[in-house]
Amino acid sequence: MAVCIAVIAKENYPLYIRSSPTENELKFHYMVHTSLDVVDEKISAMGKALVDQRELYLGLLYPTEDYKVYGYVTNSKVKFVMVVDSSNTALRDNEIRSMFRKLHNSYTDVMCNPFYNPGDRIQSSRAFDNMVTSMMIQVC
């Protein structure tokens, strides 16, 4: 039930970003961009020795008036950012976690595809698109 889902590469450029088209997409792009700072902050706060022990799920990065932004980082520093509508109070933390898990699985499947060059935009994988669509808010 996310409003926007983005996959950010290690170098902090987007690999995949999709928003629900009802909103101004640029706003979501901006929100994702600003959330990267928070993600970096959370990563660095863990300490250098705790890379393995670091939780992949970062949790709520920051809330805004209308939206809440959640973050997730893989061990290869690929970030998933999800923007969720604040009005959707039914979403619990576990659900967000499961959504990120699905995202991660789909992302690994994309990675496994030998025709995908790491660093490319994820535009070839229909499975990934389908999965993201399933997670996107169904309002539209």
Partner 1 sequence: MEGLTLSDAEQKYYSDLFSYCDIESTKKVVVNGRVLELFRAAQLPNDVVLQIMELCGATRLGYFGRSQFYIALKLVAVAQSGFPLRVESINTVKDLPLPRFVASKNEQESRHAASYSSDSENQGSYSGVIPPPPGRGQVKKGSVSHDTVQPRTSADAQEPASPVVSPQQSPPTSPHTWRKHSRHPSGGNSERPLAGPGPFWSPFGEAQSGSSAGDAVWSGHSPPPPQENWVSFADTPPTSTLLTMHPASVQDQTTVRTVASATTAIEIRRQSSSYDDPWKITDEQRQYYVNQFKTIQPDLNGFIPGSAAKEFFTKSKLPILELSHIWELSDFDKDGALTLDEFCAAFHLVVARKNGYDLPEKLPESLMPKLIDLEDSADVGDQPGEVGYSGSPAEAPPSKSPSMPSLNQTWPELNQSSEQWETFSERSSSSQTLTQFDSNIAPADPDTAIVHPVPIRMTPSKIHMQEMELKRTGSDHTNPTSPLLVKPSDLSEENKINSSVKFASGNTVADGYSSSDSFTSDPEQIGSNVTRQRSHSGTSPDNTAPPPPPPRPQPSHSRSSSLDMNRTFTVTTGQQQAGVVAHPPAVPPRPQPSQAPGPAVHRPVDADGLITHTSTSPQQIPEQPNFADFSQFEVFAASNVNEEQDDEAEKHPEVLPAEKASDPANSLRVAKADSKTEEKTAASAPTNVSKGTAPLAPPPKPVRRRLKSEDELRPEVDEHTQKTGVLAAVLASQPSIPRSVGKDKKAIQASIRRNKETNTVLARLNSELQQQLKDVLEERISLEVQLEQLRPFSHL
Query: Which residues form the interface with partner 1 (CB under 8 A)?
Result: 52-53, 55-56, 75, 101-102, 104-105, 108-109, 112-116, 123-127
Cβ-based nearer residue to partner 1, 50 or 139: 50
Torsion from C-alpha of 116, 119, 124, 128, nearest 10 degrees: 100
**Rounded-to-integer distance, Cα 119 and Cα 1, Å:** 27
Q: Tell the smallest beta-carbon distance from residue 29 to partner 1 (Å).
A: 24
The number of beta carbons lying within 10 Å of the beta carbon of residue 51 is 10
Cβ-based nearer residue to partner 1, 22 or 130: 130
Strands 79-85 and 2-8 turn out to be antiparallel
Cβ-based nearer residue to partner 1, 37 or 55: 55
Q: Tell the smallest beta-carbon distance from residue 92 to partner 1 (Å).
A: 16
